[in-house]
Structure 1
Amino acid sequence: MEENFEKISEGNRRDFLFVATGAVATVGIATSVWPLIDSLNPSADVLSLSTVEIDLTSIEVGTRITVKWRGQPVFIDRRTPEQIAKAVADDSAELLDPQTDESRVFNPEWLIVVGICTHLGCVPLGQAEGDTRGDWGGWFCPCHGSQYDTSGRVRKGPANKNLVVPPYSLVPGEKVIIG
């Protein structure tokens, strides 16, 4: 009977040693691998560029500004009632990339789009007063002739996609957070 007790005791000790060794090895591996995994997270300077907050109070009706977000130009256009009416009227026009004006804006007064032509990545003209704005009063890409309307929808040229609407939210107090 004593022999059986020693065999059981010896088996339990061996099992305990295997489990304890495995646990220590797992903790050691996790401790050494964690810094590598953590280094794959974006750095603080990258995270700070992920969103930008813009005060809209100084932008007058009919004015366009350009801000930088993630290294890209973003066009912010405070549209006039005439521009809004024209954009809504063009919803039923034959568009290369059909989208309604309502689906591209949260507030009809503010159009916010990434200012990069969807053909080859040029920056379209139309932000500064006096720039060529094309036949539809939006933006004109001089490289290959793509034209966008007052809603940032492609109307003519080799580009086949509308100007991209970035993720943004309008904040009470006339601010916008892009990103």
Structure 2
Amino acid sequence: MKKLQKRYYGVLVSIVVFVIATGASYIVLNKAYGSEHPRIETAGEDASPVPSPRGNVNEYLAIGIGASMGIVSLAVWEGGSSVQQDTISIMLHSGLEDLTVRDLEIVRIMRRKEKFTIPELQKYSPASRQSIWRLVNKLDEKDLVEETGDKQLPSSGRGKPSKVYRYVGLQKND
């Protein structure tokens, strides 16, 4: 839901950029090159010039510039949302320089998921349940992970419910 709302705002921003860029470029093009429409003459001596059905070249250029700017702004909006701080730099900033490559891979998985349980992380990693549990606790102590308060039953339907966590990153620390 949050991603959809963010994408909605991105589309709105790109439409606004399109409108502003089109208007501004049309004004600049008319100042620089004039606003004369291409004309065609009709047969006869009394005939007056008639505007060409092709329209003003400045209009087409302005729309092209506006569309390009709108597309670029949408691409930057979408691309900017996918740029995240590097997992390693987050761990170093949090004083967790002793993590292994396997630990960093598990943290990368946590960052991708909205919510997770230790058994879910175990599916994506060859690390043991105990290793993952220790890592989650270590990240919880550094306020990088927090319990949601929810419980999730195992997929088999039997066994003890697992605590549900979510990765919060440096948002609490900064």
TM-score grouping bracket, smaller chain normalisation: under 0.3
Q: Which has the higher helix share?
A: 2
Q: Which has the higher strand share?
A: 1
TM-score normalised to structure 1 length: 0.27
TM-score normalised to structure 2 length: 0.27
